[in-house]
Amino acid sequence: MAKTLKQQLAEVNEYEREPIPASALKSSGSFIGMYAGEHTAGTEYVIGPLFVAHGVGAADLVGGLLVGNFLAVLSWAFLCAPIATKVRLTLYYQLEKICGINLTRIYNLVNGLMFCFLAGSMIAVSATAIGIPFNFPMPKLTDMYPTSIGWVLTVFAVGTVITLVAILGYERIARFANVAAPWMIGVFLASALAVLPELGVTSPGDFWGVAKSVIWTGIPLEGQDKFTFWHVMFFAWFCNMAMHIGMADMSILRYAKKWTHGFTSASGMFVGHFLAWMASGILYAVYLQKNTGEFAPGPVSFYAAGFAGAACVVIAGWTTANPTIYRAGLAIQAMMPKTTTWKVTLVVGLVTTIAACFPALVMRLLDFVALYGLILMPMGAIIFADFYLAKRIGFLPDYAWRAGTEFNIAAALTWTLTLAFCLGLNMFAGVEIFFLGLPGWFVAIILYVALSKSLQRKILTEAAV
């Protein structure tokens, strides 16, 4: 007999507050598909063109992407996966043990909002494809606010469907991403290849010359900052900083049978963040020649690949927005453990959809992604220090859980002082947001160790007295 929707929803069990049992562990194949699908996404249709708009040179792009993506894979494999497969808890529950329930609530709120905005940008990207038949004006590079009623209605239609899929849980999300990933990658590459002759590439030997002189010319569009090798490298490394160094993917990699499954992130990096970014840059270069002023992945892809291209933009947005809304749901559900996951995800989907109505999310995506990683990074550094350094240096791991406190002051100070340090570097030393993550991580580690050593000793001494 078919189960009712209510029964199905009640059965969604994502092990939010318990270690993953051996029976639920997944092999590397699940993660290869998930990472390839998640990082061959709607945002790839935006990031590649934004590199073109920011005047990245061809050699800087290729070199920066190769090095940056390699560093990102190492970050997943050596920082996030070993801890995820050892503790097998969600990021949020692990944080609760270290930071206390009240600090984790604040973190979850910030984290959930960030995920909402990220998923929102993907819903917006999907909407540029769904909106093609309705012929309303698409957003331009300079648009920040909703541009028409048609745009808002389309965004809401897309957001509703994505939220409903996310409500049905991780299994369905992973299955959908696995099915769509090979086809999406094919469409990305085929679209770019098919339009290369329009740029003057008729044989493989022509490509590099055209790449340097027509696509990635090194000259930014009017009103855009110039990007160098370092921008590309650090962006490729840190665009998922919240996931690897920030440890958000503990919630995903806790399902991995072995820590080495962290290397499966290479499928996402070198297919999505290398080939797909280059492919979408090529598509945008063709569209720039038509000079419409629109910055809308749907019409760009539709021009190169017809219905399949538009469908790819929609599905690429879905396969990333779904796990992102799922993560946001987990983040906020951890604040309200008595509320069911599906109800939280429904609210998260609504917030996400409202955010998606604003084209600013898409046009300033590079800055937003960098900011999002930076804000969440210090908590990942705290988990790292707690896991690897606590016993060696001599402070208590899982301090909040052991001391029975609901607010770990050392962790709160580490988070805020690290962000203050990064803000200071940005405001007073002029360091751009893309470069703040690396010094910030070391500062966070030093701060957490030093503060834990001094504050824990004081509290424990008082307790002993």
Site string for another protein, 309-338 (x = CB under 8 A): x-x---------------------------
Q: Does 175 bind another protein (CB under 8 A)?
A: yes
Q: If binding is defined by CB under 8 A, does position 190 make contact with another protein?
A: yes
Of residues 183, 213, 226, 339, which one binds another protein by CB under 8 A? 183
Instruction: Based on the shown chain and the rule CB under 8 A, indicate whether residue 214 belongs to the binding site for another protein.
Output: no
Among residues 74, 194, 214, 450, the one that binds another protein under rule CB under 8 A: 194
Work out the number of other CB atoms within 10 angstroms of the CB of residue 336: 12
Residue 209 engages another protein in binding (rule: CB under 8 A): no
By CB under 8 A, tell whether 173 contacts another protein: no
In the complex, what is the shortest distance from the CB of residue 407 to another protein, in angstroms, rounded to a whole number?
44
Per-residue HEC secondary structure of 205-245 comes to: HHHHHHHHHHHCECCCCCCCCCCCHHHHHHHHHHCCCCCCC
Q: Is 202 in the site for another protein (CB under 8 A)?
A: yes
CA nearest 130: which of 165, 106, 159, 166?
159
Closest contact distance (angstroms) between CB of 30 and another protein is 11
**Which range in 52-60, 135-143, 176-184, 334-342 contacts another protein by CB under 8 A?**
176-184
CA dist 100 and 403 (Å) reads 10
Selected binder of another protein within 141, 179, 335, 446 (CB under 8 A): 179
Neighbour count for residue 153 (Cβ, 10 Å): 16
How far apart are alpha carbons 125 and 316 in whole angstroms?
Answer: 9
User: Among residues 67, 110, 308, 450, which is the contact residue for another protein, using CB under 8 A?
Assistant: 308
Total residues in contact with another protein, by rule CB under 8 A? 23
CA–CA dist 189, 281 (Å, integer): 11
Is the Cβ–Cβ distance between 331 and 92 less than 8 Å? yes
What amino acid occupies position 52?
V
Counting contacts by CB under 8 A, is residue 193 touching another protein? yes
Give the nearest distance from C-beta 286 to another protein in angstroms: 11
Is the Cβ of residue 80 or residue 187 nearer to another protein in the bound state? 187
Q: Which stretch binds another protein (CB under 8 A): 194-202, 212-220, 251-259, 450-458?
A: 194-202
First to last CA, the chain: 64
Position 197 contacts another protein (CB under 8 A): yes
What b/e sequence results for 351-362 when a residue is b if at least 16 CB atoms lie within 10 Å of its CB, and e otherwise? Answer: bbbebbbbbbbb
* CB-based contact 239:48 (threshold 8 Å): no
- Are the C-beta atoms of residues 165 and 322 closer than 8 Å to each other? yes
Residues in the chain: 465
Residue ranges binding another protein (CB under 8 A): 175, 178-179, 182-183, 186-187, 189-191, 193-197, 201-202, 305-309, 311
